[in-house]
Amino acid sequence: MANLIALFYNWWNLYLRFYDEGHHREAIRSRPMLMAGVGRQVQSGGRRTVKVSVLHEKGDLIAHAVTQISNELHHIRVITERWSVNQRWTLLLTRL
The pLDDT value recorded for residue 10 is 66
**pLDDT tens digits, 41-58:** 889 888 888 887 777 777
Separation CA 56–CA 62 (nearest Å): 8
Separation CA 10–CA 73 (nearest Å): 17
Q: Give the domain extent around 20.
A: 2-95
Separation CA 27–CA 10 (nearest Å): 9
- The number of domains in the chain is 1
**pLDDT tens digits, 74-83:** 888 888 888 8
Q: What is the pTM of this model?
A: 0.59
